[in-house]
Chains A and B, each alone.
Chain A
Amino acid sequence: MRLPRLPLMIGPVAVLALGACAGAPSPGGGATAQPSAGATPVTVTNCGRKVTVSTPPRKAVTMNQGATEVALALGLEKQMVGTAYLDDKVPAVWQAAYSSVPVLAEKYPTKEKFLAAGPDFAYASYESAFSAKGVGERAELAKEGVNTYLSPFGCTEQGHAKGKVTFEKVWGEVADVARIFGVPERAQKLADTQKNQLETLKKASAGRGTRVFWFDSGDTTAFAGGGAGGPQLILDAVGATNVFADIDKGWADMPWEKVVAADPQVIVLADASWSTAASKIAHLEGDPVLKNLAAVKAKRYVTIPFSESTPGVRLVDGATHVAEQIAKLPTS
Chain B
Amino acid sequence: MSGRAAWAVGAGLVLALVAGIVVVLGVGSVGVPTGEVVAVVARRLRLIDGEGVTVLADRIVWDLRMPRAIGAAAVGACLALCGVVLQSLTRNELADPYLLGLSSGAAVGAVAAIVFGVTLTGLTQGAVVAVCAFAGALAALVLVLALATGRSGQLPPGRTILAGVAVGQLCGAFTSLAIMVFGERDVARQVLAWTLGSFGGIRWGAAALLAALALVATLALVWCARALDAFAFGEVSARSLGVDVDRMRWGLLVGCALITAGTVAAVGPIGFVGLTVPHIVRLIVGPGHAALLPLSGLAGAVLLLLADTAARSLASSEIPVGVVTAAIGAPVLVVLLRRQAGRS
A interface residue numbers (CB < 8 A to B): 1, 3-4, 7-8, 11, 14, 17-18, 20-22, 24-28, 31, 104-113, 115-116, 118, 126-128, 131-133, 137, 139-140, 144, 154, 156-161, 249-251, 253
A residues less than 8 Å from B44 (CB atoms): 21-22
Query: Would you call A28 and B55 a contact (CB within 8 A)?
Result: yes
Tell me the smallest distance from the CB of B48 to a CB of chain A, in Å.
Answer: 10
Complex Cα–Cα for A1 and B243 (A): 12
- Is B183 on the interface with A (CB-CB < 8 A)? yes
B residues less than 8 Å from A22 (CB atoms): 43-46, 50
Query: Would you call A3 and B46 a contact (CB within 8 A)?
Result: no
Most chain B beta carbons < 10 A, residue from A3, A31, A115: A115
Complex partner residue of A154 from B186, B200, B226, CB under 8 angstroms: B186
Query: Would you call A127 and B186 a contact (CB within 8 A)?
Result: yes
A residues less than 8 Å from B315 (CB atoms): 105
Binding stretch for chain A, among B84-92, B110-118, B133-141 = B110-118
Query: Would you call A137 and B116 a contact (CB within 8 A)?
Result: no
Tell me the smallest distance from the CB of B297 to a CB of chain A, in Å.
Answer: 10
Leading 5 A-B pairs by shortest Cβ distance: A132-B201, A105-B316, A112-B30, A116-B30, A107-B317
- Is B59 on the interface with A (CB-CB < 8 A)? yes
Query: Would you call B50 and A113 a contact (CB within 8 A)?
Result: no
Tell me the smallest distance from the CB of B209 to a CB of chain A, in Å.
Answer: 12
Query: Would you call B184 and A160 a contact (CB within 8 A)?
Result: yes
Binding stretch for chain A, among B146-154, B217-225, B331-339 = B217-225
Total residue contacts A-B, CB cutoff 8 A? 139
List 18 A-B pairs, Cβ < 8 Å: A1-B223, A3-B223, A4-B223, A20-B46, A21-B44, A22-B45, A22-B46, A24-B62, A24-B63, A26-B55, A107-B317, A110-B200, A110-B318, A131-B125, A159-B184, A159-B187, A160-B117, A253-B181
Query: Would you call A110 and B29 a contact (CB within 8 A)?
Result: yes
Over the window 99-119 of chain B, the binary record of Cβ atoms lying under 8 Å from chain A Cβ atoms (1 yes, 0 no) is 000000000000000111100
B interface residue numbers (CB < 8 A to A): 28-30, 43-46, 50, 53-56, 58-60, 62-65, 114-117, 124-126, 180-187, 189-190, 193-194, 198, 200-201, 203, 208, 211, 215, 218-219, 222-226, 294, 312, 315-318
Complex Cα–Cα for A62 and B225 (A): 54
Residue of B nearest to A85 (CB): B317
A residues less than 8 Å from B43 (CB atoms): 22, 25
Complex partner residue of B200 from A7, A111, A253, CB under 8 angstroms: A111
Complex Cα–Cα for A116 and B60 (A): 9
Query: Would you call A3 and B59 a contact (CB within 8 A)?
Result: no
Complex Cα–Cα for A111 and B65 (A): 10
Complex Cα–Cα for A137 and B44 (A): 25
Query: Would you call A133 and B46 a contact (CB within 8 A)?
Result: no
Residue of A nearest to B202 (CB): A132
Query: Would you call A112 and B28 a contact (CB within 8 A)?
Result: yes
Known A106-B316, A128-B186, A133-B190; further 16 A-B contacts with Cβ < 8 A: A1-B223, A3-B219, A11-B215, A24-B58, A25-B53, A105-B317, A110-B318, A112-B60, A113-B30, A115-B30, A131-B190, A131-B201, A132-B200, A139-B124, A140-B203, A158-B117
Query: Would you call B59 and A115 a contact (CB within 8 A)?
Result: yes
B residues less than 8 Å from A1 (CB atoms): 223-226
B residues less than 8 Å from A4 (CB atoms): 218-219, 222-223, 294
Query: Would you call A109 and B317 a contact (CB within 8 A)?
Result: yes
Query: Would you call A249 and B184 a contact (CB within 8 A)?
Result: yes
Most chain A beta carbons < 10 A, residue from B53, B56, B62: B56
Most chain B beta carbons < 10 A, residue from A28, A139, A157: A28
B residues less than 8 Å from A3 (CB atoms): 219, 223
Complex partner residue of B193 from A25, A105, A133, CB under 8 angstroms: A133
Residue of A nearest to B59 (CB): A115
Tell me the smallest distance from the CB of A129 to a CB of chain B, in Å.
Answer: 9
Residue of B nearest to A117 (CB): B30
Query: Would you call B117 and A115 a contact (CB within 8 A)?
Result: no
Query: Would you call B56 and A137 a contact (CB within 8 A)?
Result: no
Complex Cα–Cα for A118 and B57 (A): 11
Query: Would you call A159 and B55 a contact (CB within 8 A)?
Result: no
Given known A-B contacts A1-B226, A27-B55, A156 and B117 have beta carbons under 8 A apart: yes
B residues less than 8 Å from A161 (CB atoms): 184
Complex Cα–Cα for A137 and B62 (A): 18
Query: Would you call A7 and B219 a contact (CB within 8 A)?
Result: yes
Tell me the smallest distance from the CB of A59 to a CB of chain B, in Å.
Answer: 13
Complex partner residue of B56 from A7, A8, A115, CB under 8 angstroms: A115
Complex Cα–Cα for A108 and B200 (A): 12
A residues less than 8 Å from B183 (CB atoms): 159
Complex Cα–Cα for A77 and B77 (A): 47
Query: Would you call B193 and A128 a contact (CB within 8 A)?
Result: yes
Tell me the smallest distance from the CB of A274 to a CB of chain B, in Å.
Answer: 12
B residues less than 8 Å from A105 (CB atoms): 315-317
Residue of A nearest to B316 (CB): A105
